[in-house]
């Protein structure tokens, strides 16, 4: 059985199928590099901040997004942990898709996935779909397949620095971006990824630095 996440799984499949195949079939993983602790720290701070407004909205996004935050913090904390989070089982392919949500909104008894993004500058037009469409589609699918009916969109909430004030506190800008979701697209991506894993190793891609490194160091062809 394959257990696939949207980040180290489906995103990797779309970025480089060969690295994806080696990751799951040969347990050969891309070098991780230095872990960026600032985004991780920001993620925890934002979660704590949002948790103060369960069944309402933080003032900085009030009027800019639809719905209210999921009121059940215990349930949300399960969704936030990849060990207890939402899963979708593809029986035909014997594969599990799993993921951990940052947050979630409810509107008209329907659920809206929310993901926080910390970056150094404002998002450009089309960035959200280009870089995060698969991840957001996956979260919507996971909610829906577990009995939580979803809207056909989600939100990415961007935090990016504006200035350092005289007291040393960094002021951030906040920009929610609405992105449409597609459950069938998420299913199809998973199906294609698993079918690909069951095939032979793909050829090396000259434009992937990781493939070149793996081929040179480990002798994969």
In this predicted model, what pLDDT tens digit does every residue of 39-68 receive, in sequence order?
A: 888 999 999 999 999 999 999 999 999 999
Summarised one tens digit per residue, pLDDT across range 158-191 is: 999 999 998 999 999 999 999 999 999 999 999 9
Share of the chain above pLDDT 70, in %: 95
- Look up residue 91 and give its two tokens: 């029986």
pLDDT of residue 208: 82
- Look up residue 114 and give its two tokens: 């929310």
Whole-angstrom distance, CA of residue 87 vs CA of residue 102? 15
Indicate the average pLDDT of the chain.
Answer: 92
Burial 82-107 (b: 16+ CB within 10 A, else e): eeebbebebeebebbbbbbbbbbbbe
Q: What is the mean pLDDT of residues 76-103?
A: 95
> Are residues 139 and 115 in contact, defined by beta-carbon separation less than 8 angstroms?
yes
pLDDT of residue 221: 56
Q: What is the mean pLDDT of residues 1-23?
A: 92
Runs of H (alpha helix) within 70-126: 73-80
pLDDT of residue 216: 65
> Are residues 220 and 202 in contact, defined by beta-carbon separation less than 8 angstroms?
no
- Would the pTM of this model clear 0.85, i.e. be above it? yes
């Amino acid at each position: 059985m394959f257990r696939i996440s949207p980040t180290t799984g489906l995103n990797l499949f779309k970025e480089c199928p060969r690295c994806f195949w080696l990751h799951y079939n040969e347990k050969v993983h891309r070098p991780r590099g230095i872990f960026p602790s600032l985004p991780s720290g920001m993620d925890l701070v934002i979660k704590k901040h949002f948790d103060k407004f369960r069944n309402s909205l933080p003032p900085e996004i009030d009027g800019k997004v639809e719905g209210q935050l999921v009121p059940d913090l215990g349930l949300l904390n399960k969704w936030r942990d990849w060990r207890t989070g939402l899963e979708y089982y593809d029986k035909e392919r014997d594969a599990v898709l799993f993921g951990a949500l940052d947050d979630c909104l409810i509107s008209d008894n329907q659920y809206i996935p929310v993901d926080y993004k910390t970056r150094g500058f404002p998002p450009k037009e089309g960035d959200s779909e280009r870089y995060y469409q698969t991840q957001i589609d996956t979260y919507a699918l996971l909610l829906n397949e577990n009995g939580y009916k979803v809207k056909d969109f989600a939100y990415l909430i961007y935090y990016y620095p504006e200035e350092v004030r005289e007291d040393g506190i960094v002021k951030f800008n906040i920009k929610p971006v609405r992105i449409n979701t597609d459950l069938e697209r998420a299913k199809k991506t998973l199906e294609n990824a698993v079918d690909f894993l069951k095939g032979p190793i793909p050829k090396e891609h000259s434009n992937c630095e990781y493939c070149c490194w793996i081929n040179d160091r480990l002798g994969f062809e």
